[in-house]
């Protein structure tokens, strides 16, 4: 096989952890020829051609996805370059959305097209990867050829893409963490608060799960995130917000989280142009009549 700049097939996935296995399952479901390799050899193959070794796969692959932990990317890229013989006009895409490996410059200097292919969803269960990637968003970055290949890979998986400004990778990834990781923290805090007032832990989890699922449905139907906001702040209910702040006074981290997120919500409402007097009254209520 002759490697052509901008080709897709076959894809080689480097890293047989959760992300690599999930992407391999999604590629298999999409009918995209690929090989999944770890540091030792080939873990699985799907479709032609049949590779004899990891190095054989890397040398033939026009597109390589590096799906290892951030701290291992430099080693993985140097192994592709020094040990496996990656072709000069191949496309190498890191699955990490935040890492800026030093080895990127070394592998790009030999003519490799380098970029990012970062699915904006948790890649935990390979059995669900294909389903979840349908309609998902993938952050891409890199040179023109790398971005083109990343976009076409996303299309094959039924996903759309957004461009990541390389200089803003940290801010991009922070946004992903806020959207993906912190809701889990908030769910755990809500469950903990219900448990503090005597609700059974199983019932608390069920209640929080149902409430958050309904909020996500509202979010999906709204043109902007803030348009899906419900509750006392959304309706300007000063008395209820004051009661919350009073009830949570002295309980950490519940009061801290409630205050920080309430103030952030009000700042967004102010930016949206909501009634300034209502926003100010709600901000005052968060202080719980000076109890802080």
Q: What is the pTM of this model?
A: 0.88
Residues 44-55 have a mean pLDDT of 94
The average pLDDT across 62-91 equals 96
Confidence class for position 2, pLDDT limits 50, 70, 90:
very low
Mean pLDDT of 29-51: 94
Tokens 């991009």, residue located: 172
Q: Which two tokens stand for residue 216?
A: 């996500």
Q: Average pLDDT for residues 135-140, to the nearest whole number?
A: 96
Cα→Cα distances 206→181, 194, 258, Å: 19, 11, 21
Tens-place pLDDT, residues 257-276: 999 999 999 999 999 999 99
Question: What is the reported pLDDT for 124?
Answer: 81
Kindly report, residue by residue over 143-168, the tens digit of the pLDDT.
999 999 999 999 999 999 999 999 99
* Residue for token pair 């699955």: 95
Tell me the domain boundaries of the chain: 11-167, 180-286
Q: How far apart are CA 170 and CA 185, in angstroms?
A: 21
pLDDT band at 130 (very low <50, low <70, confident <90, very high): confident
Q: pLDDT tens for residues 116-127?
A: 999 999 888 888
pLDDT of residue 288: 64
Residue 292 pLDDT > 70, yes or no?
A: no
For 4-22, the pLDDT digits (tens) are 555 688 999 999 999 999 9
Assess contact for 114 and 107: CB atoms under 8 A.
Answer: yes
Mean pLDDT in residue range 88-103: 96
pLDDT at residue 289 above 70?
A: no
Per-residue pLDDT band at 3 (split at 50, 70, 90): very low
At 1, the pLDDT band (50, 70, 90 cuts) reads: very low
CATH fold of the domain at 11-167 = Rossmann fold (3.40.50)
């Amino acid at each position: 096989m002759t490697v052509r700049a901008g080709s897709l097939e076959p894809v080689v996935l480097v890293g047989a952890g959760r992300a690599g296995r999930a992407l391999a399952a999604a590629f298999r479901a999409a009918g995209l020829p690929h090989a999944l390799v770890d540091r030792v050899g080939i873990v699985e193959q799907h479709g032609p051609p049949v590779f004899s070794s990891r190095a054989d796969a890397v040398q033939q692959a026009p597109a390589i996805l590096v799906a290892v932990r951030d701290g291992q990317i430099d080693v993985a890229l140097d192994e592709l370059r020094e040990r496996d013989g990656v072709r000069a006009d191949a496309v190498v895409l890191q699955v990490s959305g935040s890492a800026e490996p030093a080895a990127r410059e070394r592998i790009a200097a030999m003519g490799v097209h380098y970029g990012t292919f970062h699915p904006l969803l948790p890649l935990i269960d390979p059995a669900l990867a294909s389903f979840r990637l349908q309609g998902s968003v993938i952050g891409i970055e890199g040179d023109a050829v790398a971005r083109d290949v990343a976009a076409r890979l996303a299309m094959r998986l039924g996903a759309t893409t957004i461009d990541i400004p390389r200089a803003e990778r940290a801010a991009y990834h922070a946004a992903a963490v806020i959207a993906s990781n912190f809701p889990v923290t908030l769910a755990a805090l809500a469950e903990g608060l219900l448990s503090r007032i005597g609700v059974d832990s199983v019932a608390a989890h069920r209640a929080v799960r149902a409430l958050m699922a309904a909020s996500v449905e509202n979010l999906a139907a709204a043109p902007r995130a803030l348009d899906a906001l419900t509750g006392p702040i959304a309706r300007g209910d000063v008395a209820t917000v004051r009661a919350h702040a009073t009830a949570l006074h002295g309980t950490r981290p519940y009061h801290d989280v409630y205050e920080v997120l309430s103030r952030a919500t009000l700042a967004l409402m102010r930016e949206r142009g909501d009634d300034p007097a209502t926003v100010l009254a709600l901000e005052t209520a968060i202080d719980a009549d000076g109890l802080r």
